Amino acid sequence: MGIEIRPFSETDIPALRAAIDRGTSHPGEWSVKHFYDDPEDPDALKIPKEVVTISDSKGPIAFVRYTKSLRISCMWNDETDNHRNGRAVLNGILDAVNKARANGYTEIIIATESEKLATFFERILKMKRSRDEFLLQV
């Protein structure tokens, strides 16, 4: 049984939809629009991405989306200085967005275990949360 990796096509949508419906690892996180931008759908994500279908003689095994993501790591000088740190986050994110756009990135990902920072990312920056990671489309 050979493995084939080919570009995702519109004919893969029913199998992808069924896989998403059956999936238990990421409940509610994925939809077809994460993998396929329907030109007729005004809510399509329309982020530059490459999507492939990995299959064998029995059919699709996996649907894989590749995006160009900028992952940010940060070490605070003083974790307790919330005012200065908040200002630094706002300015730092703006700088990161500008750098990401200029270099062809489509999303910024930041991981944190700090609930204060997580709340800031969600409420102020409107970043989408997935466990301890936060995603910002650029």
Q: What is the pLDDT of residues 20-33, one digit of tens each?
A: 999 887 777 788 88
pTM of the model: 0.66
Long-range contacts of 19-26 (CB under 8 A, 24+ apart): 19/60, 19/63
pLDDT in tens, 43-92: 766 666 789 999 999 999 999 988 888 989 888 888 899 899 889 999 99
Contacts of 78 (CB under 8 A, 6+ apart): 84, 85
* Mean pLDDT for the chain overall: 88
Q: Name 6's Cβ contacts closer than 8 Å, sequence gap at least 6.
A: 52, 53, 55
φ, ψ at 53 (rounded to 5°): -110, 125
